[in-house]
Each structure stands twice: as C-alpha cells, then as structure tokens.
Amino acid sequence: MSFIEKLTQTIEKNQSLLCVGLDPNEKNLPEGDNIQEKLLLWAGNIISQTKGLVCCYKPNMAFFEQFGLEGLEALQVICRELIPAEIPVLLDAKRGDIGSTAEAYARACFDIYGADVVTLSPYLGYDAIKPFTDRADKAVFVLCQTSNPSAKEIQQHGIPALFEHVAKQSQHWGAAEQVGLVVGATQPEALKRVRELCPDAWILAPGVGAQGGNLRMALENGLRADGLGMIVPVSRSVMNAEDPKAAAEALRDEINRIRIDVQIKLLDAPKVSRFAELIEGLYDTGSVKFGEFILASGKKSPVYLDLRRLVSFPWLMKLAVEAYAERMHNTPCDLIAGVPYAALPIASVLASQAGIPMIYPRKEVKTHGTGQLVEGVFEAGQSVTVIEDVITSGGSLITAVESLRSLGLKVEHAIVLVDREQGGMEKLAQAGITAHPALKFSEILEHLLATKKIDKDQYTIVKDYLSHG
C-alpha cells in the first residue's frame, strides 16, 4: 500500500488531519535505568491513547539520536511495532545529500526504520530527492518555508522568493501524491502562495501550538477545496499534556470544525487560476485587449492578444517565461526555436535561463549575405522545441516547423503561452506537433470575470466568439 493510500484511509477512518509528533526528552520519560525501555514505555503510552485520533505519527529522528544506539533501536521498534501498521509513519529526518549517500539515507529511512514518508532538504536539488521517490510506495515532504523565525533569512530571499522556487520545482520531482511540501503554520501568507503554486500538493504545516501558529489562518490558506491536502503536526501540546488522548481529541475536533467552515468557503469561492498574476498582468498592460479587431487572417475578433508588449514590462516577461519553463520539463530538447516575431524575445529569455541553445526560422529568406532559412547553429537530427506566443489556427507555427524540418531537424513539440481554442491544437496535431499551452483563453476569461476585470457582457461575447469561431 502506498503512503497516500494509507494516509487517506486513516484520515477517513479517524476523521483527522492531526499528526502527533514523537519528540522525546529525558524529562518526559518515565523513571528507570534502561533508556530504551523508557522510550518504548513513553511512546507506547502516547500511541495507545491517540491512535484513533490521528492521520499519522511523526517521530523526530534527532530526538532519538541524542540517546545513541539505544535511542535508534527504540525508534526502530516504535516505527515498526508500536505504531499500528495501518497508520503512516512520517519520519522527520530532514535528510539531503546526493548520489550513493542519498540512496543510503533512503534505505535507512524506509528499510531499517520502516517509514512511509520522510522530510527532506531540497538544497541539493533533485539528486537528493530521487532515491526516495524511486520508491513508488513511499513519499517525501520537502522543506519549503519552515516555521522557525530565522527561516526568512534564506527561504524568502530573492524575487520570486526561494520558497516559491522550491514549490514550483517540487512539481517536477514526482506526483502530488508522492512529493509534498513543509510550510509552517506560522507563515500563513507563504501557505497561501504555495497552495496557489501547487494546488494539488499535500502540505505538512508545523508550528501550531507551542510555536504560536494560528490554526484557523493556516487551514484557510493551506487546505484544498476538498478539505484535504494538509497535515497538521503537533508535538508538545499532546506529548506534555496530562491527558494526551483528551488533548489530541480536542485538537482533532477543532481542526475538523475549521475544516468544514473553510471547505464551504472554498467551494463557494470562484476558482482562481494558479497563473492569476500573469493573467492580470496581461490585462493590465494591454497585452490582452477587448473590443473589435482584425486578425492576420482577415477575420474580426472581439479580443486581441498582443504579446509583443511583454518586452516593455520585464516583470511580466519574467512571469510569462516561468509559465513556459514549466512546460519545458515535458519537452526535453537539444534546441529552442522562437517563431517570429512576438515569440523571439520570449524564446531568447527562456533559452538563456534554461541553458539551451536557440535558433529561429526567418519569415523571409535574405537575398544577401548567407541567405539562411534558419538562423543560429544547429545540426541535422537535433531535437527542437518550438516557442510560440499564441495559437489561433496554428498556421504560422506549422510554417515555422516546416522550415525547421526541411533542414533535417526533429520537431515534435511546441510550447505556447495562450491557446485561443479555435482549432489550432487539432491542426498542429495533424501536422505531427504536440502543443503544450500554459493557458487556455477560457481560463483567462474565467479569471478576468471572477476578478471583475471584465463584465458579464464582455465575457459572453468572447465566449460565444470562441465557441463559433
């Protein structure tokens, strides 16, 4: 059984998003001389009282390592024998290394201690994650925005902030069911942003209780519309309670009360695109216009996309390139080719950031100089991903692809910012090109209507045009 299957079954059975942490300290342990026996008695008591109230347990490895070999032996028994087999074990190990070292950590966490999911540091990149996600039945929670006060010194550095970059990258490290994120309940704005960037991901949100995180704010910002997607770990509030069962039950019930309220609000709220900032930027800069326009085909249109304007707004170009970059993970290639003219600056920035050489087909062949059909350095047989701004009929993109193919280049994929949903995708498919749009125009319309950028009449006119156009 996979981690996510075990988790969702336990959530349903116990009606709980509460995770109880197991962080032993000498002062919390019962009297006695044998440290291993003391640890097992202590953990056994907490588990026996709370096993019907939790969605998982989170032993913190450091708190067992401090007791040496006896502590680690106790941890093994706790994970494999004391925690019921049907309840997931979330090993809070915060490991992060590369190559054979990461593989050794994965074997230790999964095979020795019997963990279902492990916390990891993303600092070394995908190399540190892969040995763990190679186990199809296991999962990881990647440190994203942690709950400690000084986390912002590193995790909020840069534009976009480092934690945002981690959130985006994590989506390419495995399925949402296998790669979750650690985002502190003490950081509600970060929780909100991560949920926008990763709408399906599971979030582990420490910081409620002793660290002062606001439970309601955390749930409002971190939960998915289905009332799931978030685990709330609590350690000291349960471990140190005179009655751990009563403390856990009270927390579980409070989470559920808030969870119901949040779910109702989320279901009633208009759906917000994860590309909200990009969509609103396109509208605010006049890159998406509403009115009456003549297209290159000679047809009239109530909407016009002018992505040539992106070059005048660096912040918007950055957002657009990020949207393209997400699709690049599905289209490995030797070269990037920009379609003249609007897509050329986009392709240039994307190629520079991705470290992939760029070429571009000319609209008209020069009658002087080299007379090149395609500019740049390339060799026949190389794979090319084509970058286009908008798909309407797909004609200009097909023309560009034909030019590239005529020189022996392999072209099967194209990435576009916006699909106008007017049959271009189908024509491209017939030409052997799989297009990967970041946005469909219907998504842009829905968001602009929800945010009152356009009114219902404008929405209806464009919607009707697209459906009959």
Of 204, 252, 265, 261, nearest to 230 by C-alpha is 204
Q: Catalytic: 192?
A: no
SS (H, E, C) the chain: CCHHHHHHHHHHHHCCCEEEEECCCHHHCCCCCCHHHHHHHHHHHHHHHHCCCCCEEEEEHHHHHCCCHHHHHHHHHHHHHHCCCCCCEEEEEEECCCHHHHHHHHHHHHHHCCCCEEEECCCCCHHHCHHHHCCCCCEEEEEEECCCHHHHHHHCCCCCCHHHHHHHHHCCCCCCCCEEEEECCCCHHHHHHHHHHCCCCCEECCCECCCCECHHHHHHHHCCCCCCCEEEEECHHHHCCCCHHHHHHHHHHHHHHHHHHHHHHHHHCCCCCCCHHHHHHHHHCCCEEEEEEECCCCCEEEEEECHHHHHHCHHHHHHHHHHHHHHHCCCCCCEEEECCCCHHHHHHHHHHHHCCCEEEECCCCCCCCCCCCEECCCCCCCEEEEEEEEECCCHHHHHHHHHHHCCCCEEEEEEEEEECCCCHHHHHHHCCCEEEEEEEHHHHHHHHHHCCCCCHHHHHHHHHHHHHC
Active-site residue, selected from the candidate residues 94, 152, 410, 463 = 94
Which residues, in sequence order, are CB contacts of 454 under 8 Å at separation 6+?
290, 445, 448
User: In Å, how far are 153, 296, 304 from 299, measured between CA atoms?
Assistant: 54, 7, 12
Residue pair 390/416 in contact (Cβ under 8 Å)? The answer is yes
Residue pair 385/413 in contact (Cβ under 8 Å)? The answer is yes
User: Distance (Å, rounded) from C-alpha 323 to C-alpha 122?
Assistant: 21
Residue pair 312/345 in contact (Cβ under 8 Å)? The answer is no
Give the residue numbers marked as catalytic.
94
